[in-house]
Amino acid sequence: MKTEFDIAVLPGDGIGPEVIQEALKILKIIESKLGLKINISEAPVGGAAYEATGHPLPEASLETARNADAVLLGAVGGPQWESIDFSLRPERALLGLRSSMGLYANLRPARIFPALVDASTLKREVVEGLDLLVVRELTGGIYFGQPRGVDTLEDGTRRGFNTLVYTEPEIERIARIAFDVARKRNKSVCSVDKANVLESTGFWREVVTGLHSDYSDVELSHMYVDNCAMQLVRNPKQFDVILTTNMFGDILSDEASMLTGSIGMLPSASLGEKHAMYEPIHGSAPDITGQELANPLATILSVGMMFKYSLDHEEPNAWIESAVESVLGQGVRTADIMSDGMRQVGTKEMGDLIAEELEKG
Ligand code: NAD
């Protein structure tokens, strides 16, 4: 079994570097527990890279990411870059990384830790025991479709436009991922589309249905995205794996995050044929940057996913999840999941407590 790994670390902007710092503490502990050698290469992306080099995804950072066994990303973006040209905005780094590394499958588990059942804005009985997985297509759909832009018609009317397009192979490969992961879970896939209005997602439904014959042991259902948004807050436990398009997955997984207590709790894995990237689902949270208010758990949990999917070691994911459960069980909370009677800690202290718990285990 391989024991030496190269990890590219891309902290990014805002709270990105703060949560990455805590995730690196956890990575170091697992490295020594498993007797591995982990080589870390850090590179700038997003606004930080734009300031340093004039581009949000410099070639050198992309190369560092491409040469690694896995990439760990913080978050990018911030209000100071909102007025620059779209092609140079920090968020373009994300799209660039995803498309250049072929990261077409985004896995976003939304699982509630028992200690946080009362931190959700939904009732205990609605969320207790929740464990669903959003499988979001990541390199196609409206975020990448051409043509796109803003132009002016002959009569002087300005318009903005994007294109929602999916090819059959793009739909098939993401659907296979969803069926495959469902086989290791509760064997149920709900494919979410807007087939009643959008031809491209009607086609999505047709392709997913066609592929289902290869996976007859997995139950397949279809749901319109507006209904799914409602069902996620009405009865989220009906879902096992939600398979959906790039934009619908972006929105639904943020909604699912609130079922678990906070967007600061949700990790993600973005997988392709050759590369993989791990990141919290949240953004750079400029409103809380530099105040020790960021919850580092989503990024720490992303490290667990990295070991599971890219570094050939299953155990660290379970170790990290149980360290998180144990620390939350002791009543420790960051501000975003704080409730009466709990002890509030900052970003660093939360990272330290998880690290201590891992070292004990
Ligand atoms: P956001 O996820 O950064 O923040 C949304 C809200 O959640 C904020 O109130 C924030 O304080 C809170 N929050 C987020 N992460 C948290 C954490 N770990 N702990 C505690 N609270 C947390 O989304 P936004 O405000 O819409 O966007 C801010 C910037 O981030 C924008 O520039 C946006 O483009 C960018 N963004 C980047 C990514 C990414 O890098 N993957 C994803 C989404 C948004």
Placement of tokens 């953004």 in the chain = 283
- Regarding whether 124 and 83 lie in a shared domain, the answer is no
Distance of CA 157 from the midpoint of ligand 1 (Å)? 34
Q: Are residues 298 and 258 in the same domain?
A: no
Pair (239, 355) in one structural domain: no
Instruction: Report the distance separating Cα 164 and Cα 111, nearest Å.
Output: 30
**Residue of 282, 289, 291, 347 to test ligand 1 pocket, by largest number of atoms within 8 Å of CB:** 282
Distances (CA, A) of 167 to 96, 142, 164, 191: 20, 12, 10, 16
Let me know whether 174 and 43 are in one domain: no
Cβ atoms of 81 and 47 within 8 Å: the answer is yes
Which residues, judged by CB distance below 6 Å to any ligand atom, belong to the binding site of ligand 1?
15, 19, 75-78, 91, 94, 263-264, 279, 282-288, 294-295, 298, 336
Residue 266 has pLDDT above 80, yes or no: yes
Q: Does residue 250 have an active-site annotation? A: yes
Same structural domain, 183 and 253 = yes
Q: Tell how far the Cα of 44 is from the centroid of ligand 1, in angstroms.
A: 18
Question: Cβ neighbours of residue 336 under 8 Å, at least 6 residues apart?
Answer: 261, 262, 263, 264, 293, 295
Spatial separation of the C-alpha atoms in residues 59 and 128, rounded to whole Å: 45
For 90-111, write each residue's pLDDT tens digit.
Answer: 999 998 999 999 999 999 999 9
Same-domain status, 117 and 259? yes
Instruction: Judge if 252 and 157 occupy the same domain.
Output: yes
- Whole domain around residue 74: which residue ranges? 1-104+272-361
Which pLDDT does position 331 carry in this prediction?
Answer: 96
Distance from the CA of 280 to the center of ligand 1, in angstroms? Answer: 10
Domain of residue 291, CATH code: 3.40.718.10
Buried b (16+ CB within 10 A) or exposed e, 114-135: ebbbebbebeeebbeebebbbb
Same domain, 217 and 301: no
* Domain co-membership, 240 together with 124: yes
Q: How many domains in the chain?
A: 2
User: Which residue's CA is the nearest one to ligand 1's atom 8?
Assistant: 285
pLDDT at 1 over 90: no
pLDDT one-digit tens code per residue, 282-335: 999 999 999 999 999 999 999 999 999 999 899 999 999 999 999 999 999 999
Please check whether residues 192 and 317 belong to one and the same domain: no
Pairing of strands 70-75, 4-12: parallel
Q: What is the pLDDT of residue 120?
A: 85
- Tell the burial category of 102 from Cβ atoms under 10 Å away from its Cβ (0-12, 13-18, 19+): middle
254 is catalytic: yes
Give the C-alpha separation, 100 to 66, whole Å: 9
- Say if residue 311 is in the same domain as residue 213: no
The CB density around residue 193, as the number of other CB atoms within 10 Å, is: 24
